[in-house]
């Protein structure tokens, strides 16, 4: 439901204060005056009408910045700004079952048991219920190595059974039918680790990820979680993404490499075990490691990638999530909201807590990544606010974090659909949220590192800096460890070292296309130059497409309409060219929406164009690219049928 009357949005959200109303009113009046003047030619110096500039930059007292350094000002977008309010609504938490869970894992006295909650049996059936359990394991096939599981035959269970393996499926039935099916995960078998005799302090790392969550969307959809994080964690206000989607951003953080660099040793042709993940280094330093991700079809290392040959971490929960997704599922916006009687997200939060609590006495490193409630709908996270808050503030979890540095974060903001055609959508997409918890013990032991960290929260930061921070933590815990620096960003540093005040996106390997430091003014999208830039972008898309073997299946795109155009300030370079860049969103025929940043060098009426970074695709293109196998090509493709493809093939 879209709330047209914003007052109905909810009492918690204080976004529409009287001050805001006044502000918007003034803005609208000014915008109307300028529109009028522009229309009558007053401001029409070139073909650019500087309408957008008025709204964005002429009233400086209205602009707050997330960070305001000498080389980088990132606007602090209003999460409820006028341009996106029509796309905002609230989603309810819907439990996956009305009944309590009939089975659960009990860890006590050093034993791990699967138990039936007998007090619930009568709720499930008035007849007698019998249950059985199976061992779930991954199949090490050469081909489908990471995406197949198998079950042992179902063994009857009376009240409880001792477990020796990590993933278990339970089926309970009465004489007529199944009344309950579920899967559980636990931390078995316990890895054998040599006791750590070194005197150095090994800090644990907990990474909890929510895909596609911007700073603003966290504030907007998860106000309770946001408040808790603000009170107990510290935000990196100037954290900017470095690549388009999950893979480049998560890999920057986990390996320190750019996607181009990964090609040589971590291409899609080899299994992902060779990708030099930082968890390998933690494991080599005696840490117990874990990695889990929900929504298996789009998992970072499985979607268009070969997955892992061997489990990459001590605890690898992919088989568990595969098994959970074989249960009856309830989809919300195409994602597995419920698998069996539990939500995917709560499964994740439960195993994250189980892992952290179980290994609180030893160094541990865990990555728990959630897609299921945030990836495909910008509002659905509101359904999970309570659950995430409940996890973060859980007493058992919090009391297990005395030696743990925790990151609660995302990889990028929302990437598709209507919200992306707006100014706020542009900004949000590039600004994932990231909150870090530094335990007291660390603050006391390393006051200087901690004060550097606080300074750095006001600077431009990237996932590469986070990678370097992991290296710092490895070094703190092991004096013979030689810290590696991020290869993708040679100028990046650990967040425990003071970062230069004058950092630019260029300094830290952020392409202009993803950079939020400079802003832009909106200009008339009907201008000749803007039109030419649109043609240039679509040409680039077609050229890129034509480098692929499967190119015949894809239509050639043509410009249909420029949806919006932003322009930077300009400067004159040493060749006396006027240089500026444009951020252009172009709609094409056949139907697709692309966004790119193009640098324009102008001299003597001649304009030269250069692409700055990637081209983004803003429409949802899964449906129209089903004919294509190569995942990289899909972004530049529109499948338009066998006949047209055959003709293209024949005429070359
Ligand atoms: C940003 O920094 C500049 C230079 O320090 C200062 O003049 C300006 O007032 C700051 N703007 C805001 C909104 O803090
Ligand atoms: C068993 O179910 C009852 C009734 O729902 C519940 O109160 C109790 O907490 C459950 N026990 C466990 C260990 O989950
Ligand atoms: C569970 O399955 C795995 C792989 O098939 C096997 O190694 C393990 O021994 C099994 N455990 C039990 C208790 O069946
Ligand atoms: C589980 O293990 C404990 C300790 O070894 C043993 O006493 C108990 O009988 C076992 N329970 C079952 C159901 O096998
Ligand atoms: C320290 O790191 C090295 C590798 O860098 C590893 O071989 C060694 O076991 C580690 N020592 C400890 C105590 O973790
Ligand atoms: C940033 O400042 C440092 C000194 O603090 C200076 O050496 C460096 O050249 C500056 N970099 C840029 C890009 O201005
Ligand atoms: C751009 O041109 C189209 C058709 O020529 C027109 O409908 C539209 O109003 C124009 N937009 C602006 C912002 O001038
Ligand atoms: C730079 O270009 C401007 C106008 O485009 C011209 O007036 C000026 O003479 C040029 N300067 C140089 C050094 O070429
Ligand atoms: C997709 O195409 C690119 C460029 O041709 C190639 O490098 C890559 O290996 C291909 N990927 C797959 C999965 O075939
Ligand atoms: Zn993502």
Query: Which of 61, 62, 68, 77 should be mutated for ligand 1, with most atoms under 8 A from CB?
Result: 68
Q: Is it the case that residue 200 has pLDDT exceeding 70? A: yes
What is the number of other CB atoms lying within 10 angstroms of the CB of residue 256?
26
Q: Is 64 in the pocket of ligand 6 (CB under 6 A)?
A: no
Q: How confident is the model at residue 452 (pLDDT cuts 50, 70, 90)?
A: very high
Per the CB < 8 A criterion, the answer to whether 290 and 364 are in contact is yes
Distance CA 584, CA 565 (A): 4
- Exposed (0-12), middle (13-18) or buried (19+): which is 53, by Cβ within 10 Å? buried
Average pLDDT, integer, range 382-403: 98
pLDDT tens, residue by residue, 87-135:
999 999 999 999 999 999 999 988 999 999 999 999 999 999 999 999 9
pLDDT tens, residue by residue, 124-142:
999 999 999 999 998 866 6
pLDDT tens, residue by residue, 63-85:
799 999 999 999 998 999 999 99
Question: Can you give the length of the chain in residues?
Answer: 652
Average pLDDT, integer, range 384-409: 98
Name the token pair of 350: 């439960």
Angle at which helices 344-358 and 385-392 cross, to 10°: 0
For 575-606, b/e burial (b = at least 16 CB within 10 A) is eebebebbbbbbbbeeebbbbbbbebeeeeee
Residue 334's region, left for phi above 0, alpha for psi from -120 to 50, else beta, is left
Atom of ligand 4 nearest to the CA of 162: 1
Go through the domains of the chain in sequence order and give each one's CATH number: 2-85 (no CATH), 103-185 (2.60.40), 204-514 (3.40.720.10), 521-651 (3.10.450.10)
How far, in Å, from the CA of 603 to the mean position of ligand 8? 9
Q: Which residues crowd ion ligand 10, with CB under 5 Å?
A: 211, 246, 411
Average pLDDT, integer, range 145-149: 86
Q: Is 124 in the pocket of ligand 2 (CB under 6 A)?
A: no
pLDDT tens, residue by residue, 347-367:
999 999 999 999 999 999 999
What is the number of other CB atoms lying within 10 angstroms of the CB of residue 613?
17
Q: Are strands 288-293 and 364-370 parallel, antiparallel or unpaired?
A: parallel
How far, in Å, from the CA of 442 to the mean position of ligand 10? 30
Q: How confident is the model at residue 62 (pLDDT cuts 50, 70, 90)?
A: low
Q: Is it the case that residue 636 has pLDDT exceeding 70? A: yes
Q: Is it the case that residue 43 has pLDDT exceeding 70? A: no
For ligand 5, atom 13: residue with the closest CA: 198
Per the CB < 8 A criterion, the answer to whether 354 and 186 are in contact is yes
Q: What is the dihedral of CA 454, 459, 464, 465, to 10 degrees?
A: -30
Name the token pair of 385: 């606010």
Distance CA 356, CA 362 (A): 10
Q: Is it the case that residue 611 has pLDDT exceeding 90? A: yes
| Confidence at residue 214, expressed as pLDDT on a 0 to 100 scale | 98
| Confidence at residue 142, expressed as pLDDT on a 0 to 100 scale | 61
The position carrying tokens 């088989």 is 319
505: nearest Cα among 452, 562, 430, 444: 430
How far, in Å, from the CA of 103 to the mean position of ligand 2? 10
Atom of ligand 7 nearest to the CA of 526: 1
| Confidence at residue 55, expressed as pLDDT on a 0 to 100 scale | 33
For ligand 5, atom 8: residue with the closest CA: 285
Q: Is it the case that residue 406 has pLDDT exceeding 90? A: yes
Q: Is 613 in the pocket of ligand 6 (CB under 6 A)?
A: no
| Confidence at residue 26, expressed as pLDDT on a 0 to 100 scale | 46
Cα–Cα–Cα angle for 522, 524, 529, rounded to 5 degrees: 105
Distance CA 644, CA 223 (A): 50
- In the chain, count of helices (H) and strands (E)? 19, 28
Q: Is it the case that residue 390 has pLDDT exceeding 90? A: yes
Name the token pair of 572: 């004159």
More confident: 321 or 651: 321
Distance CA 583, CA 578 (A): 17
* DSSP line for 435-483: EEE--HHHHHH-HHHHHHHHHHTTSEE-HHHHHHHHHHHHHHH-TT--P
Name the token pair of 132: 């059985």
Taken in order 6, 11, 15, 19, is the CA torsion positive or negative?
A: positive
* DSSP line for 513-543: GG--SS--EEE-TTSHHHHHHHHHHHHHHHH
């Amino acid at each position: 439901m879209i709330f047209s009357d914003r007052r109905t949005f909810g009492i918690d959200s204080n976004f529409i204060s009287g001050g805001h109303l006044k502000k918007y009113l003034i803005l609208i009046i000014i915008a109307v005056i300028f529109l009028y003047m522009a229309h009558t030619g007053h401001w029409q110096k070139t073909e650019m009408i500087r309408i957008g500039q008025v709204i964005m930059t002429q009233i400086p007292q209205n602009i707050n910045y997330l960070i305001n350094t000498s080389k980088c000002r990132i606007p602090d977008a209003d999460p409820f700004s006028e341009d996106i309010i029509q796309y905002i609504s609230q989603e309810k938490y819907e439990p996956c079952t009305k009944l309590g869970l009939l089975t659960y894992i009990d860890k006590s006295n050093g034993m791990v048991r699967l138990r039936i909650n007998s007090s619930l049996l009568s709720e499930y059936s008035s007849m007698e219920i019998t249950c059985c359990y199976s061992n779930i394991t991954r199949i090490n096939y050469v081909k489908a190595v990471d995406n197949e599981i198998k079950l042992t035959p179902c063994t009857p269970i009376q009240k409880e059974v001792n477990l020796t393996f990590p993933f278990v499926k339970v089926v309970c039935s009465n004489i007529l039918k199944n009344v309950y099916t579920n899967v559980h995960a636990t931390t078995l078998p316990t890895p054998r680790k040599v006791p750590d005799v070194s005197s150095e302090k090994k800090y644990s790392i907990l990474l909890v990820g929510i895909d596609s969550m911007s700073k603003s969307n966290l504030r907007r959809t998860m106000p309770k979680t946001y408040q808790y994080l603000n009170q107990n964690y510290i935000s990196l206000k100037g954290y900017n993404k470095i690549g388009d989607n999950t893979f480049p951003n998560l890999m920057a953080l986990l390996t320190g490499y750019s996607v181009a660099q990964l090609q040589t040793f971590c291409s899609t042709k080899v299994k992902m075990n060779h990708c030099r993940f930082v968890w390998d280094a933690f494991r080599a330093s005696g840490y117990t490691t874990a990695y889990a991700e929900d929504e298996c079809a789009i998992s970072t290392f499985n979607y268009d990638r070969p997955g892992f040959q061997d489990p990459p971490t001590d605890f690898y929960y992919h088989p568990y999530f595969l098994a959970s997704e074989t249960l009856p599922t309830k989809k919300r916006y195409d994602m597995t909201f419920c698998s069996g009687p539990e939500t995917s997200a709560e499964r994740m939060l439960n195993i994250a807590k189980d892992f952290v609590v179980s290994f609180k006495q030893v160094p541990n490193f865990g990555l728990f990544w959630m897609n299921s409630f945030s990836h495909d709908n910008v509002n659905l996270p509101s359904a999970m606010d309570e659950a995430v808050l409940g996890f973060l503030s859980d007493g058992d979890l919090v009391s297990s974090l005395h030696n743990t540095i925790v990151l609660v974060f995302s990889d990028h903001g929302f990437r598709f659909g209507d919200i992306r055609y707006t100014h706020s959508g542009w900004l949000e997409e590039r600004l994932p949220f990231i909150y870090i918890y530094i335990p007291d013990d660390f603050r006391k032991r390393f006051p200087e590192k901690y004060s550097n960290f606080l300074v750095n929260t006001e600077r431009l930061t990237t996932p590469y800096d986070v990678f370097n921070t992991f290296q710092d933590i490895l070094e703190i815990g092991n004096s013979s460890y030689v810290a590696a620096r991020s290869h993708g960003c040679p100028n990046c540093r650990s967040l425990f070292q003071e970062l230069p005040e004058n950092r630019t996106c260029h300094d830290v390997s952020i392409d202009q296309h993803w950079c939020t430091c400079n802003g832009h003014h909106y200009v008339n999208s009907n201008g000749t130059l803007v039109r030419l830039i649109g043609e240039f972008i679509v040409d680039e898309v077609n050229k890129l497409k034509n480098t692929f073997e499967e190119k015949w299946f894809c239509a050639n795109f043509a410009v249909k309409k420029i949806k919006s155009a932003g322009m930077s300030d300009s400067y004159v370079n040493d060749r006396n060219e006027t240089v500026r860049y444009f951020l252009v969103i172009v709609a094409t025929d056949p139907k697709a929406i692309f966004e790119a940043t193009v640098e324009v060098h102008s001299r003597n009426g001649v304009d030269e164009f250069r692409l700055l970074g990637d081209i983004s695709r803003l429409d949802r293109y899964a449906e129209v690219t089903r004919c294509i196998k190569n995942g990289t090509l899909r972004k530049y493709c529109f499948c338009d049928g066998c006949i047209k493809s055959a003709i293209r093939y024949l005429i070359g």
